[in-house]
Amino acid sequence: MLNLDFELVKFKEKARPIYVYYENGEDEPVPIYCDEGKRYDPEGICANLRRMMFVLSFHPKNSALKRMRGEIIRPS
C-alpha cells in the first residue's frame, strides 16, 4: 500500500524470529521490527511496521517517508 519495494530473504532453517529492516538508498539498513519468534501474526506484524514507519518518517534522512506520512497513519 505504501509503494515501497521489499525483499524477502528465507533461510533453510526452520522458522526463527522475523526481522524487518528499512533501507534507504546507500544508507545503513535500520532495524524496525523483530517478532522474537512469537506466534506468526500477520495483522500484528503489519500494525507494528506501520507504527515504526510513521516514527521513521520524522527522521530527516527519510524524506520519502515524510511525503507518505498521511498514507502511513491511515487505517488499513
Give the pLDDT band (50/70/90) at residue 4. low
- Name all contacts of 52-60 with Cβ < 8 Å and 24+ positions apart: 52/22, 53/2, 53/22, 56/22, 56/30, 56/32
Q: pLDDT tens across 19-41, in order? A: 888 887 777 888 888 887 777 77
Total structural domains within the chain: 1
**Residue 56 in this model has a pLDDT that exceeds 60:** yes
Boundaries of domain holding 58 = 19-73
**Residue 71 in this model has a pLDDT that exceeds 80:** no
pLDDT of residue 72: 73
In a domain, 2, yes or no: no
In a domain, 23, yes or no: yes
In a domain, 56, yes or no: yes
In a domain, 13, yes or no: no
In a domain, 1, yes or no: no
**Residue 76 in this model has a pLDDT that exceeds 70:** no
